[in-house]
Amino acid sequence: MPGLQFSPAALRRIRQDKKVSQHAVAERLGVLHTTISKYERGRCRPSAPALMELAEALGVQPTAFMTRGADAA
């Protein structure tokens, strides 16, 4: 059974549902907005600490950004 993986689509959906801009999330995390864009497009994956910060910034559990194995893209 595949494990949980980061889902770029889940991050984008959650951020948009909460009506928060990439710029606002980036400012909260102390990164460039292009970093958030890269996370959402699957160009790079957040580290564990960054994932925790994303979750805190968006008011969700870190597992909200996860999906099972092959569904992660």
Give the domains, in start order, of the chain with CATH numbers: 8-60 (1.10.260.40)
pLDDT in tens, 44-60: 999 999 999 999 999 99
Name the pLDDT band for 42 (thresholds 50, 70, 90): very high
Structural tokens at position 48: 């564990």
Which pTM was predicted?
A: 0.87
Query: Position of tokens 């292009």?
Result: 34
Please state whether beta strands 66-68 and 4-6 pair in parallel, antiparallel, or not at all (unpaired): antiparallel
